Amino acid sequence: MAILEVNNIHAYYGNIQALRGISVTVEEGEIVTLIGANGAGKTTTLRAISRLVNPREGSIQFDGEDLSQFKAHELVYKGVAMVPEGRGIFAKLTVGENLDMGAFSRDDSANIQEDLERVFDLFPRLKERRSQVAGTLSGGEQQMLATGRALMANPRLLLMDEPSMGLAPVLVESVFETIQRINKEGTTILLVEQNAMMAFQVANRGYVLQTGEIVLSDSVENLRQNEMVQKAYLGVE
Amino acid sequence: MFKKQTIVIQDIIKLGLLAGLISLSMSVIGFIALLGERELIQNVISMGHVFLLAPPIALAYISAEKVLSQSKVKATLFGLLLGIITALPLVILVILASSFDIRQFLVNVSPELIELLTFGQGIFLGSVILLLVSGVAGLLAAGLRTLPDDFREPIITGLAWVFLFGLFSEILLGRLRSIFGRGLTKLIFSGKALNPLFTVFLFIVVAALRYWSKRRRLQAEERGESISPERQQRYQRIRIVLGVVTLLLMPLILGTYLSEVMNNVGLYILMGLGLNIVVGFAGLLDLGYVAFFAIGAYIMGILTSEGQLGLGFTFWTALPFTVIGSTLFGIILGIPVLRMRGDYLAIVTLGFGEIIRILALSDMLKPFIGGAQGVLQIPKPSIFGFDLVKPEYLYYIILIGVLLAWFISWRLRDSRLGRQWMAMREDEDVAEAMGINLVNTKLLAFATGAAFSGLSGGIFASKLTSIFPHSFNLIVSINVLSLIIVGGIGSLPGVVVGALILVGLPELLREFAEHRMLMYGALLIVMMLARPEGFWPSETIKRELHAHEELEMGSD
């Protein structure tokens, strides 16, 4: 059974329609990517799933439960965590305090400690900088922190909004390696990206969004072969 | 201007003229002449001269800091130059005043001012003396900066004490007289001025103490001694006991007038602690905070008043209703503004504050809450039939309220709720993604803030025995917000420091009449330039500022 089923959602910002019937399915254990240009509705889709935007039509089901009955802050208790766009770390708090906030929804302190070790294992840099103020980290480290903080909630589904944004190519590589590793350790990932080339390297399946609609959905192997995708997103002439 | 790493002679001329313009402005508005009547040290220097020379002294000191690395002699000579240039605009004023009748334009350029500027020595000789004195003041200030820290700090501390003793002499005089009697007071003060001998004594004692304590600390550090945890704990306990004893004896030391000032400060501390939760902890900018103070005051007033409106409660039975009532209003205001952020929130709360004031003033509610006539005949609190009429007694009730609010704030800050507030202040969306319920978190912040303010309002009503709508205008909200910014936003000791400076200090400066607000305003500007993080910033803010420094260093 699919862990996440987004069914024909329509969302609006005021009178402007941002999503025109988006349907996305994510199976347990997969990495699924949403690609598309600016304004295609990728982020809005993520915001709708995480209940920051309320779709007017359509339904979103997580693990068989209708998400519309929950508030945004309740989702993390259900097992959905988000790495927000532009990283959204608590800049004035230390790295350690940021990670603590990630586990805010939990009260099983023994397991929290275990997950902290796991995050430090994944990102040794964060362990080194544990008591440093998060605002002083480099862009790549901030991305690590935002990801690590989301993992502290021990989610079943991780929503990632453009993790490669504003990072140097070398760092982008390592970000995607980490994404793969997190997935291998058992977390399902829905990844929003503009960098289609990188996203296709890690994902199982992909959806291509254009002006609030899904124009293509397939396995990444097939998407890579698609002429339109090659032209528009992979830069192949 | 001060950001530059090196300073050349042109900068000194500019700074000198700047200092001169400040001194000149203070002179032509009559500030200097007013202060000239008041001696700081008997027959030695007047407050007028102190303030006249303060700009060149301050600027020479600051500029010497930048030149120090080049050469100490140069730094000192620059100070001399700066001081002389400062005096130039003043000399021009003196010459103009002697040649033309400039009083028709500048009414405050009085013969007294000219006499003060020329040291009573006539135009020519006086101008020369003024140039020299100002130059020497600059020279000494710059010279002081070149001294090693070991001597510089004690000297500055000594001078600061002498200045503060002289500035607040009227208040000190009154208290010393009633505690130690006239004999001892005469040794210290002659009139309002400090006795020269005592001045020297005070300076030496303070400077020596400062020198000695610093040496001791340094020596301990050199020997690598660290104070054992037990001893630290014992020191901590001694400090707490001393603090409590001081707080308890405060009214005895301060007397009636200063106790009354302290009570006002205390009520503002209570409000400040509440707003500190709303603005400092939770990051919700509330400009209508006075509303809860008003609601608390009105609930207390109506419940206890012995007049027509009153319901016959006592202070103590009404107090819980006061706090509960204002808490409820906190939640009622909170609900419509849940979706607002930042500036929008500020404007909406501003509107709420005005609505409450206008409702209190309205004819519609007049039968219940008195309209423009307010609520009268509110009794003072009493304990076991003993009315707490004097400010010295009310002090203890306010003290208990402040300590309670402090304790609650302190415990909340480090609690789970405190972390929710902190996360919400940083980023609402992310906080929500972490699983924080923004609705509850915001409402709890508004409710707690309103409770403290309502308590303050209740005590205020009982202290004044009558309340009127115009006591609850916007300026109260602004004052409370200012005091937490001046103290250091989000910091508990900061609230106390802020309230002492913003509420207490203007009272102590009453002697300076219409120039009081000028001094106060100048102080605020200087303070925000020098310490933007506040007098006693919280750890997070300190870390944030420090983090920026780290960043700047990193990018070099």
Give yes or no for residue B541 having a pLDDT over 80.
no
- Strand order of the β-sheet with B45-46 is B45-46, B39-41, B193-194, B189-190
Q: Is B148 left (phi over 0), alpha (psi -120 to 50) or beta?
A: beta
The amino acid occupying position B488 is G
Q: Which of B162, B156, B171, B148 is nearest to B202 (CA)?
A: B162
User: What's the rounded Cα separation, in Å, for the pair B216 and B227?
Assistant: 13
Tokens of B185: 């007071």
Higher pLDDT, B54 or B233: B54
Q: Which residues pair with A192 in a beta bridge?
A: A34, A161
Q: Are residues B376 and B307 in contact, defined by beta-carbon separation less than 8 angstroms?
A: yes
User: What's the rounded Cα separation, in Å, for the pair B131 and B116?
Assistant: 13
Q: What is the DSSP letter of A132?
A: S
Tell if the CB–CB gap between A90 and B427 is shorter than 8 Å.
Answer: yes
The amino acid occupying position B297 is A
No. of H helices and E strands in chain B?
A: 24, 6
Mean pLDDT of A19-36: 94
Q: Which of A153, A143, A180, A165 is nearest to A30 (CA)?
A: A180
Q: What is the DSSP letter of B15?
A: H
Q: Are residues B526 and B59 in contact, defined by beta-carbon separation less than 8 angstroms?
A: no
User: What's the rounded Cα separation, in Å, for the pair B540 and B544?
Assistant: 6
pLDDT given for residue B106 in this prediction:
85
pLDDT given for residue B544 in this prediction:
65
Higher pLDDT, A34 or B226: A34
Give yes or no for residue B505 having a pLDDT over 80.
yes
Of the pLDDT bands very low, low, confident and very high (cuts 50, 70, 90), residue A220 is very high
Mean pLDDT of B270-293: 95
Q: Which residues contact B100 (CB under 8 A, 6 or more apart)?
A: none
Tokens of B271: 């409000």
Interface probe, candidates B338, B420, B426, chain A, greatest A C-beta count within 10 A: B426
Q: Check if B438 contacts A (Cβ < 8 Å).
A: yes
Contacts of A84 in chain B (CB under 8 A): 429-430, 433
Q: What is the DSSP letter of B375?
A: B
User: What's the rounded Cα separation, in Å, for the pair B421 and B431?
Assistant: 9
Tell if the CB–CB gap between B551 and A84 is shorter than 8 Å.
Answer: no
Closest chain B residue by Cα to residue A146: B430
Q: Which of B426, B435, B554 sits opposite A77 (nearest CB)?
A: B435
Give yes or no for residue B6 having a pLDDT over 60.
yes
Residues B41-76 have pLDDT tens digits of 888 888 899 999 999 999 999 888 888 777 888 888
User: What's the rounded Cα separation, in Å, for the pair A96 and A126?
Assistant: 8
Q: Are residues B439 and B281 in contact, defined by beta-carbon separation less than 8 angstroms?
A: no
Contacts of A102 in chain B (CB under 8 A): 434
Query: Chain A 52-111, CB below 8 Å of chain B: which residues?
Result: 52, 71-77, 81-82, 84, 88-94, 100-102, 104-105
Output the CA angle A46-A49-A51, nearest 5 degrees: 110
Residues A108-159 have pLDDT tens digits of 888 899 999 999 999 999 999 999 999 889 888 999 999 999 999 999 999 9
Q: Are residues B461 and B321 in contact, defined by beta-carbon separation less than 8 angstroms?
A: no
The amino acid occupying position B312 is G
Residues B293-351 have pLDDT tens digits of 999 999 999 999 988 877 889 999 999 999 999 999 999 989 988 888 888 999 999 99
Residues A177-201 have pLDDT tens digits of 999 999 999 999 999 998 898 999 9
Residue B227 phi, psi dihedral angles, 5° rounding: -70, 130
Tell if the CB–CB gap between B423 and A82 is shorter than 8 Å.
Answer: no
Tokens 């929804």 sit on residue: A105
Output the CA angle B460-B461-B464, nearest 5 degrees: 80
User: What's the rounded Cα separation, in Å, for the pair B362 and B397?
Assistant: 32
Mean pLDDT of B518-545: 78
Burial class of residue B305 (count of CB atoms within 10 Å of its CB; 0-12, 13-18, 19+): buried
- Residue B438, SS3 per DSSP: helix
How far lies B429's CA from each of A53, B338, B433, in Å?
Answer: 11, 13, 6
Q: What is the DSSP letter of A73?
A: G
Mean pLDDT of B359-366: 89
Q: Which of B449, B505, B504 is nearest to B477 (CA)?
A: B449
Q: Give the gap in angstroms from C-alpha B524 to the nearest C-alpha of chain A.
A: 26
E-state strands within A48-122 = 57-62, 65-66, 80-83
Query: Chain A 146-185, CB below 8 Å of chain B: which residues?
Result: 149-150, 153
pLDDT given for residue B555 in this prediction:
38
Q: Are residues A83 and A158 in contact, defined by beta-carbon separation less than 8 angstroms?
A: yes
- Residue B312, SS3 per DSSP: coil
Higher pLDDT, B417 or B235: B417
User: What's the rounded Cα separation, in Å, for the pair B209 and A23?
Assistant: 77
Tokens 């889709």 sit on residue: A45
Residues B378-393 have pLDDT tens digits of 999 888 878 888 888 9
Q: Check if B389 contacts A (Cβ < 8 Å).
A: no
Residue B258 phi, psi dihedral angles, 5° rounding: -70, -30
Mean pLDDT of A28-46: 92
Q: Check if B436 contacts A (Cβ < 8 Å).
A: yes
Of the pLDDT bands very low, low, confident and very high (cuts 50, 70, 90), residue A237 is low
Closest chain B residue by Cα to residue A133: B547
Give yes or no for residue B554 having a pLDDT over 50.
no
How many Cβ atoms are within 10 Å of B377's Cβ, its own excluded?
Answer: 14
How many Cβ atoms are within 10 Å of A237's Cβ, its own excluded?
Answer: 4
Give yes or no for residue B528 having a pLDDT over 90.
no
Output the CA angle A125-A126-A132, nearest 5 degrees: 110
Q: Give the gap in angstroms from C-alpha B444 to the nearest C-alpha of chain A.
A: 16
Of the pLDDT bands very low, low, confident and very high (cuts 50, 70, 90), residue B171 is confident
The amino acid occupying position B82 is L
Q: Are residues B405 and B455 in contact, defined by beta-carbon separation less than 8 angstroms?
A: yes
User: What's the rounded Cα separation, in Å, for the pair B16 and B528?
Assistant: 23
Burial class of residue A126 (count of CB atoms within 10 Å of its CB; 0-12, 13-18, 19+): buried
Of the pLDDT bands very low, low, confident and very high (cuts 50, 70, 90), residue B469 is very high
pLDDT given for residue B556 in this prediction:
34
A40-79 residues labelled b (16+ CB within 10 A) or e (exposed): bbbbbbbbbbbbbbebeebebbbbeeebeebebbbbbebb
Secondary structure element (H or E) that encloses residue B173, with its range = helix B169-180
Tell if the CB–CB gap between B550 and A88 is shorter than 8 Å.
Answer: no
- Strand order of the β-sheet with A16-27 is A16-27, A2-13, A57-62, A65-66
Give yes or no for residue B1 having a pLDDT over 60.
no
Higher pLDDT, B225 or B135: B135
Q: Which residues contact A183 (CB under 8 A, 6 or more apart)?
A: A29, A31, A189, A202
pLDDT given for residue B409 in this prediction:
96
Tokens 């500027």 sit on residue: B117
User: What's the rounded Cα separation, in Å, for the pair B75 and B118?
Assistant: 28
Contacts of A104 in chain B (CB under 8 A): 419-420, 423, 434-436
pLDDT given for residue B553 in this prediction:
44
Give yes or no for residue A232 having a pLDDT over 90.
no
User: What's the rounded Cα separation, in Å, for the pair B70 and B67?
Assistant: 5
E-state strands within B188-315 = 189-190, 193-194
Counting every residue, how long is chain A? Answer: 237
Q: Is A203 left (phi over 0), alpha (psi -120 to 50) or beta?
A: beta
Q: Check if B194 contacts A (Cβ < 8 Å).
A: no
Of the pLDDT bands very low, low, confident and very high (cuts 50, 70, 90), residue B546 is low
> Mean pLDDT score of chain B, rounded to an integer?
88
User: What's the rounded Cα separation, in Å, for the pair A11 and A56?
Assistant: 6
Residues B396-412 have pLDDT tens digits of 999 999 999 999 999 99
Burial class of residue A130 (count of CB atoms within 10 Å of its CB; 0-12, 13-18, 19+): middle
Q: Are residues B496 and B257 in contact, defined by beta-carbon separation less than 8 angstroms?
A: no
Tokens of A138: 């480099």
Q: Are residues A3 and A157 in contact, defined by beta-carbon separation less than 8 angstroms?
A: yes
Contacts of A71 in chain B (CB under 8 A): 437
Q: What is the DSSP letter of B195?
A: P
pLDDT given for residue B355 in this prediction:
93
Give yes or no for residue B37 having a pLDDT over 90.
no
Rg, Å, chain A Cα set: 17
> Mean pLDDT score of chain A, rounded to an integer?
91
Chain centre to alpha carbon of residue B176: 24
pLDDT given for residue B68 in this prediction:
78
User: What's the rounded Cα separation, in Å, for the pair A58 and B244?
Assistant: 64
Tokens of A178: 């980490």
ipTM: 0.84
